[in-house]
Amino acid sequence: MNGLDQKIISYIYTKKEGYYNVINWFKELKSKGLNPAYITMDGEISVTRAIRSVWPKVKIQRCLWHIKREGMRWLRTNPKTQAGKDLKFLLYKLSFVKSLSERDLFINSFNSWLLKHKDFLKLLPKDIVAFKDLKRTITLIKNAIPDMFYHLEDSKVHSTTNALEGFHSRLKADYRRHRGLTTNNRIKYLGWYCYFQNGSKTNIL
């Protein structure tokens, strides 16, 4: 999806994400002239690897909604530790980062959280759920921080994939009303769905 006008650039029908399911698609798009400066996406590792292999200079903006949702899911509704409660509150504030100074404050707050709870994490038994949840969330944030805030440097970059996720949700809901379609007809349905999403004057690669 083009983040500027929210029109579908291209599509494929595949049962799941994965390097080998998308790499040839990306190569074809590049051969047709698609050379994005930024791509906003979730953190799916194999798809990221495919993107990097085709467009090595592209900057990947990690979807803040996915980071926040995943981290808060791992920390659970009611974290059992103060460290978990503090980290969940920090993740909650991620959506409100709207400037470079707020970006710096978020990163500094995370580093301060790591320092504050360093000894606690060392003493926490590594086989309990609380430790595993915290470890997962720490790794998530650490890996994502370098690619979290490109949208603050360029207003054309989207901080989330919400527009595309909304399109997917509507598409899935409509697919459920046509459960009897064959695979071939599902692919045709997808094509027409994207066509009408864009309007008849837009060409899809």
The per-residue pLDDT for range 122-155, each reduced to its tens digit, is 999 999 999 999 999 999 999 999 999 999 999 9
CB 183 within 8 A of CB 169: no
Better-scored residue on pLDDT, 175 or 125: 125
* Within-domain flag for 138: yes
CA distances from 118 to 13, 88, 123, 124 (A): 46, 16, 9, 10
* Within-domain flag for 5: no
pLDDT confidence of 204, banded at 50, 70, 90? low
* Within-domain flag for 156: no
Any residues with CB less than 8 A from the CB of 119 and at least 6 apart, and which?
A: none
Number of domains into which the chain is organized: 2
170 has a pLDDT exceeding 60: yes
Do 78 and 58 share a domain, yes or no? no
* Each residue's pLDDT tens digit, 100-110: 999 999 999 99
200 has a pLDDT exceeding 60: no
12 has a pLDDT exceeding 80: yes
Do 99 and 126 share a domain, yes or no? yes
Residue 96: HSE in the Cβ half-sphere, 13 Å Cα cutoff: 7
Enter the pTM of the model: 0.90
* Within-domain flag for 81: yes
Do 89 and 130 share a domain, yes or no? yes
* Within-domain flag for 12: no
* Within-domain flag for 122: yes
Q: Which residue has the tokens 């974290």?
A: 79
* Within-domain flag for 96: yes
Do 24 and 76 share a domain, yes or no? no
Question: What's the mean pLDDT when you consider all of the chain?
Answer: 94
161 has a pLDDT exceeding 90: yes
Q: How many residues does the chain have?
A: 205
pLDDT confidence of 71, banded at 50, 70, 90? very high
* Within-domain flag for 167: yes
Give the structural domain span for 82. Answer: 68-146
